[in-house]
């Protein structure tokens, strides 16, 4: 992770196909394409990769979450339960529809705590969105059971977890809808792009139409297409899809490299008795894009984080002090800072954040460091990095 580290002839070939045809838009201009339909090809490849019936490409992972929720009919005033540890895009995508993000605690999986989810369910709750942060998953079986009991949708934000699995199913394919990001720092990249996956034909049809101004995509004349309902522009371009097409065909190789590098570093860190690794639920397998672990307390973790940086070990994140990924510093959300007026319904729905505390999440995030696993490292570089990490952490523990 990320796939751009290994760009090569395969990506150039697919992009050149598009440039030679001159058609950069995924829809229309049939006669000019010379048979090249990169977005359609990528969707077909992803159907196989994700073992799912339907894939709709969109412009980003953020767009994927909004499109998935809209496709399932979630909008104004509806509550969507989500974790306190995620990327800001998760709550942005919910609020864009006029829905209300309800943040709850995480557990030692670094994803949703099922007990916190149950406590947060109200008459307005329509969906639970689990975010597979840093390449791994929550207790999907328990979360699915909660959703089934309360007749809620289970949405998977798998933007950071392509290639991970749970009980033999690709992450993203376990719930009702799955969302992926293919931005520049993901395991496979389109530069910018995303996808919604589902086995529900109605949700797929809605996603297909909604992401392209409501076009129904019937017939061969775009100008004559119907518009069953309103939509917006969340289209991916053929150029972006072309890069992704080459990348997804290399996914197995990328995952193998990640697992090898991850395993070397994990083995080295495992000798530190005070260090524990994140919990991966039984039956789950990470995508090995990150190695996440816990240290005894916040003070030691802060020292270790500084030591790692001072040692030249980049890509190790202590999210407790990060304003992109953890609720603690999301003042723009807590204070509802927006360029345009937010509806009173949503503002009232977010009032809980003025007094809500996340002690359990603070405990886990305060002690967590998540380290990026790169594809371009040589084995010698990985082993050298592992030793530097051991030294930096041991120094913090003294």
Residues 285 and 201 in one domain: no
CATH assignment at residue 300? 3.90.1150.10
Domain boundary among 232, 250, 268: 250
Token output for 264: 């070397």
Give the mean model confidence (pLDDT) for residues 363-381: 98
Residues 266, 244: one domain? no
Backbone Cα Rg of the chain:
21
Shared domain check, 264 and 244: no
Per-residue pLDDT, 140? 98
Say whether pLDDT at 222 is over 90: yes
Average pLDDT over residues 356-384: 98
What pLDDT, in 10s, does the model give residues 324-355? 999 999 999 999 999 999 999 999 999 999 99
**CA distances (Å), origin 275, targets 179, 278, 305:** 32, 10, 14
pLDDT above 90 for 362 = yes
Instruction: Tokens for 214, please give them.
Output: 């409501």
Domain boundary at 250, 277, 308, which? Answer: 250
The stretch 139-143 carries a mean pLDDT of: 98
Residue 313 structural domain: 252-397
pLDDT in tens, 39-76: 999 999 999 999 999 999 999 999 999 999 999 999 99
Task: Examine the domain organization and report whether 245 and 278 are in the same domain.
Answer: no
- pLDDT, the chain, mean: 97
What's the pLDDT score for residue 361? 98
pLDDT of 161 strictly over 90: yes
With cut-offs at 50, 70 and 90, classify the pLDDT of residue 1.
confident
Task: Tell me the β-bridge partners of 380.
Answer: none
pTM: 0.97
Q: Report pLDDT digits (tens) over 80-127.
A: 999 999 999 999 999 999 999 999 999 999 999 999 999 999 999 999
Residues 75 and 138 grouped into a single domain: yes
pLDDT (mean) for 367-380: 98
- In a shared domain, residues 183 and 279: no
In this structure, the answer to whether residues 189 and 335 fall within a common structural domain is no
- Measure the CA dihedral 224/36/235/172, to 10°: 120
**The predicted structure's pLDDT at residue 111:** 98
Q: How many angstroms separate the CA atoms of 105 and 119, rounded?
A: 10
pLDDT band per the 50, 70, 90 thresholds, residue 14: very high
Do both 297 and 177 map to the same domain? no
Average pLDDT rounded to a whole number, residues 24-36? 94
Considering the domain architecture, whether residues 328 and 369 belong to the same structural domain is answered as yes
Residue 154 shares a structural domain with residue 262 = no
Q: What are 151's two structure tokens?
A: 């007749």
Domain boundary among 233, 250, 267: 250
pLDDT-derived band at 187, boundaries 50, 70, 90:
very high
Residues 162-173 have pLDDT tens digits of 999 999 999 999
CATH number at residue 217: 3.40.640.10
Q: Is pLDDT of 178 > 90?
A: yes
Q: Into how many domains does the chain fold?
A: 2
Identify whether residues 354 and 343 lie together within a single domain. Answer: yes
Asked if 217 and 104 sit in the same domain, the reply is yes
């Amino acid at each position: 992770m990320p796939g751009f580290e290994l760009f090569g002839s395969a990506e150039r070939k697919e992009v050149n196909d598009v440039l030679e045809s001159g058609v950069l838009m995924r829809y229309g201009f049939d006669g000019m394409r010379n048979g090249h339909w990169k977005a359609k090809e990528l969707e077909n490849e992803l159907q196989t990769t994700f073992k799912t019936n339907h894939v709709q490409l969109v412009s980003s992972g953020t767009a994927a979450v909004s499109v998935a929720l809209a496709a399932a009919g979630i909008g104004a005033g509806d509550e969507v339960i989500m974790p306190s540890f995620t990327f800001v895009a998760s709550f942005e995508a919910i609020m864009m529809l006029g829905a209300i993000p309800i943040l709850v605690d995480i557990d030692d999986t670094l994803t949703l705590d099922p007990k916190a989810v149950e406590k947060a369910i109200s008459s307005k709750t329509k969906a639970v969105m689990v975010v597979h942060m840093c390449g791994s998953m929550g207790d999907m079986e328990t979360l699915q059971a909660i959703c089934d009991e309360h007749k809620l949708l289970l949405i998977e934000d798998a933007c950071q977890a392509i290639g991970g699995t749970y009980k033999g199913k690709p992450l993203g394919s376990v719930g009702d809808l799955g969302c992926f990001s293919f931005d520049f720092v993901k395991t496979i990249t389109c530069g910018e792009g995303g996808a919604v996956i589902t086995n529900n034909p109605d949700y797929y049809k809605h996603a297909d139409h909604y992401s392209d101004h409501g076009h129904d995509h019937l017939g061969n004349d775009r100008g004559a297409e119907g518009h069953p309902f309103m939509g917006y522009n969340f289209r991916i371009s053929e150029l972006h899809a072309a890069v992704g097409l080459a990348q997804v065909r290399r996914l197995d190789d990328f995952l193998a490299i990640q697992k090898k590098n991850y395993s070397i570093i994990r083995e080295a860190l495992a000798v530190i008795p005070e260090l524990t690794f994140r919990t991966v639920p039984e039956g789950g397998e990470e995508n090995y894009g990150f190695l996440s672990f816990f240290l005894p307390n916040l003070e030691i973790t802060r020292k270790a984080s500084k030591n790692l940086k001072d040692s030249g070990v980049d890509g190790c994140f202590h999210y407790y002090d990060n304003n992109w990924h953890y609720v603690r510093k999301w003042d723009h959300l807590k204070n509802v800072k927006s360029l345009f007026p937010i509806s009173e319904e949503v503002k009232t729905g977010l009032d809980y954040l003025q007094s809500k505390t996340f002690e359990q999440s603070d405990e886990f995030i305060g002690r967590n460091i998540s380290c990026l696993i790169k594809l371009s490292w040589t084995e010698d570089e990985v082993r050298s990095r592992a030793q530097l990490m051991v030294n930096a952490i041991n120094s913090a523990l003294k």
